[in-house]
Chain A
């Protein structure tokens, strides 16, 4: 059973759709692994429905126009067949997948069936990172991949950071985090995560705030940048 969950307020922001999509991405990834939070999210949908039906609403003439339009095109609309049919994973025997991981559905936009298909930047012998997206609102969505027993570079968060463990586990002063766990760290937090020795650890990380994040990101990449310079 998972120990680290998003707070109920965060789940409410997810269920209402009021949080940035970058944060919803992390919540959705956690929900795929967590029955308890899925149930909470369902309750939060029920709560949303209560507010939805309490709204004051009066039928207007515009509704009739819209009705004529929608009713007029119903016959042309086919019942959508089971989406899972078109949705079947492209995982075939021919796929040259080396790991046995199954990336979350929430990340489908960024990777199909294997973390290896991504372009990873090696930051240190045990630590790799890849940026999935720099979003329009400045949020940075990245995956980190650390070898068994490896350390993540020390870092201080300059903005809020959401982390979801996708594979393996790591620990820091706050405890041990396993596959599916959700961690929200604020900018005051300084931590030294260490990956457990039994397996590598892949995490989804989402950081807000572009300028501050650049600071964090360059610091992570600093050793690499310096090394490249030294070689040239």
Chain B
């Protein structure tokens, strides 16, 4: 596992590549992003659809083309590059899944997940987002493995709590409380 400093440097480098793509349409910088993210994008697709390597190719290609097209809308104050690309990947996957059996639906997802754009960034928010990023990455390591595992299945495999419960042969309530406890420790819960 990479240390926090190494990861931060990596993110700064990615942000530089993004800038080069946005301002100079720098293909070398784009290639660097491609080399880092395409294997991750492929794993992400295969986690939800094991064996579907053509689909994995399509999603990876679509996301990387969006990176090239939308680089100028990326704002490092709003999110780091990995978070930005994760949301692009998630959105692509949702669109592909709704067109086949898993989440078959006539609902157009375009308006449901806003892309992270520079809409209301202010210095306070930028600082806050950086803090929460650090907190989440630090606290995540301290979570019990069963809680991490439940979240990982939800995020990477795109499973509902019910599907996770069935797969792990656990009561639904157990899975829900693992997710709930984990989110609370990561300070992602709504004050009531």
Contacts and interface: CB of A to CB of B under 8 A. Distances in A.
- A and B interact physically: yes
Interface in A3-19: 5, 7-9, 11-13, 15-19
A78 B65 CA distance: 10
B165 interface: no
Contact of A47 (B64, B65, B71, B155): B155
Interface size grouping (class) on chain B: 35 or more
Interface residues of A, number: 66
Interface string B67-107: 01111100000011011011101110110011000011111
Q: Which of B38, B128, B140, B191 has the most CB of A within 10 A?
A: B38
A13 B175 CA distance: 13
Interface string B51-70: 00100010011001100111
Contacts of B112: 21, 24-25, 27-28, 106
A12 B183 CA distance: 9
B13 interface: no
A40 B65 CA distance: 28
A47 B105 contact: no
B161 A70 contact: no
Given A46-B133, A66-B57, A17 B86 contact: no
Contact of B160 (A7, A18, A74, A106): A18
A22 B85 CA distance: 24
Contacts of A106: 111-112
B39 A57 contact: yes
A141 B108 CA distance: 13
Interface stretch (A129-137, A173-181, A197-205): A129-137
B30 interface: yes
9 contacts: A7-B180, A9-B180, A12-B188, A21-B107, A28-B112, A63-B38, A66-B57, A79-B69, A109-B110
Given A21-B103, A46-B136, 8 more contacts: A5-B190, A8-B189, A49-B80, A63-B42, A66-B60, A74-B27, A78-B69, A136-B105
Interface of A: 5, 7-9, 11-13, 15-22, 24-25, 27-28, 31, 36-37, 39-40, 42-60, 62-63, 66-67, 69-71, 73-74, 77-80, 105-109, 133, 135-137, 141
Lowest 5 CB-CB distances: which A-B pairs, in order?
Answer: A57-B39, A49-B83, A21-B107, A28-B112, A49-B86
